[in-house]
Amino acid sequence: MTGRTEGAVGQRRIVVVGFGPTAHRLVETLAERGFDGRITVIGEEPRAAYDRVALTSYLSGKSVADLTYTVPDGVVTRLDSRVTGIDRDARVVTTADGTAEPYDVLVLATGSAPFVPPVPGAEHAFVYRTIDDLDAIRVASEDATDGVVVGGGLLGLEAADALRGLGLNTHIVEMNQWLMPRQVDEGGGSVLKGHIEGLGLSVHAGAGVKEIVTDAGGRVTGLVKPDGTLLDAQVVVFSAGIRPRDELARACGLEVGQRGGIVVDEGMRTSDPDVYAIGECALAHGQVYGLVGPCFSMAEVAADRILGGPAGFEGADMSTKLKLLGVEVAQFGAMAGALDVTYMDPVGGVYKKLFISDDARTLLGGICVGDASPYTSLRPFVGKPLPAAPADLLFAGAGAAGLDLPDEAQVCSCNNVSAGAVRTAIADKALTDVPGVKACTRAGTTCGSCVPMLKQLLEKSGVELSKALCEHFAYSRAELFDIVRVRGIATFSELIENHGTGRGCDICKPAVASILASLHNGHVLEGERAALQDTNDHFLANIQKNGTYSVVPRIPGGEITPDKLIVIGEVAREFGLYTKITGGQRIDLFGARVEQLPRIWKRLVDAGFESGHAYGKALRTVKSCVGSTWCRYGVQDSVGLAIALELRYRGLRAPHKLKSAVSGCARECAEARSKDFGIIATEQGWNLYVGGNGGFKPRHADLLASDLSTDELIRIIDRFLMYYIRTADRLQRTAAWIESVEGGLDHVRQVIVDDSLGLCAELDAQMAHHVATYEDEWRATIEDPEKLSRFVSFVNAPGVPDPSIVFERERDQIKPMVVTP
Amino acid sequence: MSWTTVCDYHVLLPERGACALVDGEQVALFRTFDGQVYAIGNLDPFSGAHVLSRGIVGTRGGEPTVASPLHKQVFSLVTGACLDDPEVAVPTYPARVAGGRVEVAVRPGLTEAPAVPSLSLVPQPR
Ligand code: SRM
Ligand SMILES: Cc1cc2nc3c(=O)[nH]c(=O)nc-3n(C[C@H](O)[C@H](O)[C@H](O)COP(=O)(O)OP(=O)(O)OC[C@H]3O[C@@H](n4cnc5c(N)ncnc54)[C@H](O)[C@@H]3O)c2cc1C
Ligand code: SF4
Ligand code: FES
């Protein structure tokens, strides 16, 4: 330790009480700004600070690690330890276990606690604030059928969505006459209610709680409303508001507000200048801020002050935009004004209202339900002259989005970043993409709702968000697809001469080959196309680390006869290949040299096998479980369907590989939800899930449609695949594609189920063409001497095997020997 | 210089490679779209496998190239230099078309990679 002089900045002991997002932002800011004193954070929860805003994602698969913030180096944390007393004279805090922690500067960041009304039985209810709370709710929901959330505000609806996700039949009880009274007015509330009820939740507005009743064993059985009616429920969650945790401050004599909250000045100092309070426990400008954005600003102000800076907290915009249960709700600026303009569509479930000053010139605020686009485009104009006629602003979200934002307009409310700051960062740091802007300004890193605006600012700064495939084409794959389709282009040469530069590369050539194959379905090695293919497609096999290839015959649905199994065994034995059962329910034969491939395939084709396209960006396998034919639980013939689907889509070239599976019942033995399109049998038919994959970033598929007949199912899959093929980026699996499509799965559903773009007939015809013109490319290859002549190790010595290929043996099979240079 | 005939010119597909075995040396041959013929070593220095003849042929900044089929590093067909890693190069061999046939010269002195890459070989951003 160097130069510890009493009183100088940077050598003091800072103790932070509470380890939530605000405390984390404080220590992170201090660390970033080079504070070199000692920082100790004492938190009552058993874990380091985590992203509470994203709490609900913990129930849908995010892990604690995903949500936890990184603790900056050098910060001492004491977890699972509650501060019980503050001695301001001695400058010491004590924790529940009796340990004393001396401080020079104390920061209270104790957040808030859910308010639980004092009704009989309330002690049996849950709250929704921490990871531990969610664990408890999850356990209690395991053998429950019904749940009630008390409170229909932002957090209450989020909790209700969580209960619904846990499979409970869910009720929402709200004291006010409508839902989300802090964000929407009565009209918005009624539209919102329509959405929520449409999802199967019951809304009891204008109702309170009389008591929570239990059975003899103390187990919750229901909630009684003030009018005496009983709602059956085994899980009750209170989300009826929050109260600042100011108990420590109160006990040590710091000034607190009448209705709670630790009083602070604009530098976040309490009535004791050595004690700061930040985040949800603080009462700044007479207000407690229950949103994370202002809390972060407070943390930054306090950090600056501790370091001797002049920063001040000026209050904050309490605008909110969120997507709850799939419904967009937003509120910005004031919730009243001399004039207002309302657009209401109860059928479409859209409600938008703008508040305007009495001279009809200044935008004061707005409310949106069902379509929050005005939030993004108009929030920065609050307090400023209306940029266009109000009606236009309400209708043309997109048009309004084209408006130029003033520099001082706030773009990211979570992190208080202005349009000017983003523009400066783009210019000074020569930023070219959203991740760059996020890293430099923090904008967009919390709730993400401002990301569309960041994109817009990038574009307006003249940054071309490059979608170019590579140096040879300035187009995205989807654009090239359309060029090829609309202009009827049949060769790579024609495409690059007219729409590109140079002669292509390993990125654009296979991508164009795939587009040509999707649209024309000719042989992949026909004419010029052969030169476009990756070595895998070129030799119709998968290259291995030593330059040999693997052979994967198609085994549709994983069903195979003993005779065919024997053929595979014989071929492997004859050519000395290594054999392995793959994860795709088929058999892979490894170690073939190029000149052996045609002879191997001749044997396989004669025995009735065809290419398994393990090498292609194409359909791989449709896995199946045994299904109703044998399995005592099966409700449909999953093997039969898997085979039909595999035969239908075999050979279909796509932006990336496609995998599928069919399970015969909800036990899901075929792991269909990990596939690009997965099918699970129901008593009535089939449920179709899309957008799943394993691999680097596993994702479960989402339900696209349920209880389909086999014909309906196939029609929807046809369109799903063709729409994907048409619009996805190169090497973009369906999961990433759906995430990238504006409007996500809902949009995809509209296009392929409701035909919103009028495309379905075309997509259907394209798939019909594929099915009708499919031919096995290995059979076609062994029948064509010209194509076969390429399968040699050496042009000048066709009979000579590559001498550099050598094997050793392991567990009775061959294994490549490679000398890495 | 001693030339070895390896195959008929028309056997080489435009923009695709083939491998020839010359004096025990594996030579990757390429015919580019403009009809030129190039020869480089077939050994991929990154993987240790003899596979460069099976890569995708293209251009980078106008320079004819091949990308290794294993891990996609791009090599100049003109100089043998790896355009993604200035430390690495593969040998190049003189190649020509004579009487409708492709000939290459594999001589010890010429199998060395150029000592100093020319300016055009500075890796270009993708
Ligand atoms: C053989 C096999 C492993 C095995 O022995 O079980 C395998 C082998 C390869 N996989 Fe795989 N994958 C195999 C099943 C899987 C599975 C499991 C499944 O399909 O049920 C997965 C995870 C599920 C998924 O894809 O969603 C899987 C995820 C990958 C990925 C990551 C994909 C992603 O989206 O993140 C790659 C890389 C890629 O495709 O870009 C990959 C790529 C590869 C490649 C092609 C790598 C390569 O380029 O050389 C491997 C060569 C296959 C060959 O030479 O024959 N393999 N691979 C399996 C062949 C299945 C088949 O019969 O076709
Ligand atoms: C489900 C949910 C969804 C939300 N969604 C949004 C959203 O979309 N947008 C938004 O802006 N905000 C949202 N919020 C609010 C946001 O999470 C809070 O504004 C933010 O967490 C406040 O941070 P904080 O650090 O001040 O307080 P907290 O997060 O409450 O952290 C305080 C910490 O201090 C600890 N503590 C308290 N007293 C003591 C003590 N005596 N000793 C030791 N430790 C103590 C507590 O255990 C807690 O860990 C949401 C909140 C929840 C619960
Ligand atoms: S998913 Fe259902 S039908 Fe299929 S094997 Fe498993 S239990 Fe049987
Ligand atoms: S507004 Fe939430 S991250 Fe920008």
Is B125 domain-assigned? no
The model's pLDDT over A437-467, given as tens digits with 9 standing for 90+, comes to: 888 898 887 777 677 778 878 887 777 666 7
- Angle CA A378–A379–A382, to nearest 5: 95
pLDDT at B112 over 50: no
Q: Which pLDDT score, from 0 to 100, does residue A492 have?
A: 92
- Chain B residue numbers with beta carbons less than 8 Å from the beta carbon of A538 are 16, 54
Cβ-defined contact of A505 to B6 (cutoff 8 Å): no
Is the distance from the beta carbon of residue A111 to the nearest atom of ligand 3 less than 6 Å? Answer: no
Lowest mean pLDDT: which of A300-304, A492-496, A695-699, A726-730?
Answer: A695-699
Ligand 1 and A328: CB distance under 6 A? no
Closest residue of B to A803, CA-based? B24
Q: Which two tokens stand for residue A637?
A: 């013939």
Q: For residue A539, report the phi and psi dihedrals to the nearest 5 degrees.
A: -105, 5
Residue B122 has pLDDT above 60, yes or no: no
Q: Of A118-127, A739-748, B25-34, where does mean pLDDT reach its minimum?
A: A739-748
Residue B62: exposed, middle, or buried by beta-carbon count in 10 A (0-12, 13-18, 19+)? exposed
The distance from CA A500 to its chain's CA centroid, rounded to whole angstroms, is: 34
User: Which one of A473, A491, A506 would you mutate to disrupt binding with B, by most B Cβ within 10 Å of its Cβ?
Assistant: A506
The pLDDT tens digits of the residues spanning B17-73 come to: 999 999 889 999 999 988 899 999 999 999 899 999 999 999 998 899 999 999 889
**What residue type is assigned to position A615 of the chain?**
Y
CA distances to A44, A94, A98, A450 from A102, in Å: 18, 9, 13, 41
* pLDDT value for A719: 97
List residues bridging with A169 in a β-sheet: A146
pLDDT at B101 (0 to 100): 93
C-alpha dihedral sign at B98, B103, B108, B113: positive
Report the sign of the C-alpha dihedral through residues A438, A439, A441, A447, in that order: positive
User: Which of B43, B51, B59 faces A502 most closely, judged by CB atoms?
Assistant: B59
Q: What is the pLDDT of residue A700?
A: 93
Distance CA A368, CA A375 (A): 7
Q: How many CB atoms lie within 10 A of CB A370?
A: 20
Distance CA A99, CA A83 (A): 9
- Please compute the mean of the pLDDT values over residues A153-157 and round it to a whole number: 91
Ligand 4 binding pocket includes A449 (Cβ within 6 Å): yes
Fold of A122-240: FAD/NAD(P)-binding domain (3.50.50)
In chain A, whose CA is at the least distance from the CA of B67? Answer: A506
| Strands ordered across the beta sheet of B63-67 | B56-60, B63-67, B74-76
d(Cα B64, Cα B74) in Å, to the nearest integer?
A: 10
Residue showing tokens 């400008």? A285
Give the pLDDT confidence score for residue A820 in this predicted structure: 58
Average pLDDT over residues A297-318: 92
Q: Is the backbone of residue A744 left (phi > 0), alpha (psi -120 to 50) or beta?
A: left
**What does the alpha-carbon distance between residue A760 and residue A754 come to, in Å, rounded to a whole number?**
9
Q: Which residues from A are below 8 Å from B33, CB to CB?
A: 493, 503
Asked if the model's pLDDT at residue A579 lies above 60, the reply is: yes
Chain B residues whose CB is inside 8 A of the A474 CB are none
> Would strands A806-810 and A578-581 be described as parallel, antiparallel, or unpaired?
unpaired
Task: Identify whether the C-beta of residue B51 lies closer than 8 Å to the C-beta of residue B42.
Answer: yes
CB atoms within 10 A of CB A590: 22
Mean pLDDT of chain A: 90
Residue B117 falls inside a structural domain: no
What distance in Å separates the CA atoms of residue A154 and residue A180, rounded to the nearest whole number? Answer: 6
Amino acid at A791: F
Higher model confidence: residue A244 or residue B111? A244
Average pLDDT of A566-593? 96
β-strands B92-93, B74-76 pairing: unpaired
CATH fold for domain A612-773: Sulfite Reductase Hemoprotein; domain 1 (3.30.413)
Query: What integer pLDDT is reported at residue A465 of this predicted model?
Result: 63
Give the count of Cβ contacts less than 8 A between chain A and B: 114
Mean residue pLDDT across chain B: 83
* Stretch 86-105 of chain B: residues touching chain A, C-beta under 8 Å: none
- A84-88, A458-462, A542-546, A761-765, range with the lowest pLDDT: A458-462
Local structure of A169: helix, strand or coil: strand
Query: Which chain B residues are closer than 8 Å to A545 by Cβ?
Result: 47, 49, 70
Q: How many CA atoms lie within 13 A of A631 on its CB side?
A: 21
Backbone angles phi, psi at A86, to 5 degrees: -125, 125
Q: Is A619 helix (H, G, I), strand (E, B) or coil?
A: strand
> What pLDDT is stored for residue A335 in this prediction?
84
Q: Is pLDDT at A239 greater than 80 in this prediction?
A: yes
- DSSP per-residue codes, B32-69: -TTS-EEEEESB-TTT--B-GGGSEEEEETTEEEEE-T
User: pLDDT tens digits for A203-233?
Assistant: 999 888 999 999 988 899 999 998 899 999 9
pLDDT tens-digit series, residues A383-393 = 888 877 777 77
Name which of A355, A364, A406 is nearest A383 in CA terms. A364
If one compares B113 and A522, the residue with the highest pLDDT of the two is A522
3-state secondary structure of B18: strand
What percentage of chain B carries pLDDT values higher than 70? 83
Which of A56-60, A286-290, A528-532 tops mean pLDDT? Answer: A286-290
Does residue B85 form part of some domain? yes
Question: Which DSSP string corresponds to A147-164?
Answer: EEEE--SHHHHHHHHHHH
Q: Is the pLDDT of residue A88 over 70?
A: yes
Domain presence at residue B54: yes
Backbone φ and ψ for A728, nearest 5 degrees, come out as: -80, 160
pLDDT the model gives residue A403: 61
Q: What are the pLDDT digits (tens) for A617-661?
A: 999 999 999 999 999 999 999 999 999 999 999 999 999 999 999
Domain range enclosing B43: 4-104
Rounded Cα distance between B19 and B30, Å, is 9
pLDDT of residue B78: 94
CATH code of the domain covering residue B29: 2.102.10.10
More confident residue, A344 or A53: A53
CATH classification number, A9-113+244-306, choose in 3.50.50.60, 3.40.1050.10, 3.40.630.30, 1.20.1250.20: 3.50.50.60
The share of chain A scoring above pLDDT 90, in percent, equals 63
The three-point CA angle A281-A312-A454 to 5° equals 90
Q: What is the pLDDT, as a whole number, of residue A585? A: 97
Query: Where do the structural domains in chain A lie, given as residue ranges?
Result: 9-113+244-306, 122-240, 477-533, 612-773
Q: Please, which pLDDT band fits residue A813 given cuts at 50, 70 and 90?
A: very high
Q: Is B10 on the interface with A (CB under 8 A)?
A: no
Return d(Cα A779, Cα A787) in angstroms, integer: 11
User: What's the structural domain count of chain B?
Assistant: 1
**Contacts (Cβ under 8 Å, ≥6 apart) of A499:** A473, A475, A480, A483
Instruction: Say if the Cβ atoms of B21 and A796 lie within 8 Å.
Output: yes
Minimum-distance CB partner of A504 among B29, B46, B58 = B58
- Residue B55 belongs to some domain of the structure: yes
Evaluate whether A110 touches A254 at the Cβ level (below 8 Å).
no
At residue A486, the pLDDT reads 85
CA distances from A425 to A32, A301, A422, A440 (A): 18, 21, 5, 7
pLDDT at B124 over 90: no
Note the pLDDT of residue A439.
83
Beta strand A169-174 with A146-150 is parallel
Best of A528, A794, A804, A805 to disrupt the B interface (most B CBs within 10 Å) is A794
Give the model's confidence band at A3: pLDDT under 50 very low, under 70 low, under 90 confident, else very high: very low
Q: What is the pLDDT of residue B113?
A: 41
- The pLDDT score that the predictor gives to residue A2 is 39
Nearest residue in chain A measured CA to CA from B30 = A531
pLDDT for res B125: 33
Q: Quote the CA–CA distance of A688 and A691 in Å, as a whole number.
A: 10
Most confident of A42-51, A349-358, A531-540, B3-12: A42-51
Chain A nearest C-alpha distance from B110 (Å): 20
CA distances in angstroms from A84 to A94, A106, A249, A283, A381, listed in the order given? 6, 14, 11, 21, 46
Whole-number pLDDT of residue A707: 94
Instruction: Determine the pLDDT at residue A395.
Output: 66
Mean per-residue pLDDT for A768-796?
Answer: 91
pLDDT over threshold 60, residue B120? no
- What is the pLDDT, as a whole number, of residue A8? 44
Query: Is residue A357's pLDDT more than 50?
Result: yes
pLDDT of residue A374: 80
Q: In this structure, which ligand is nearest to the CA of A662?
A: 3
B123 pLDDT more than 70:
no
Residue A405 has pLDDT above 80, yes or no: no
Read off the pTM: 0.55
Q: For B11, name the nearest residue in chain A, comparing CA atoms only.
A: A795
- pLDDT digits 0-9 by tens, A173-189: 998 999 998 889 998 99
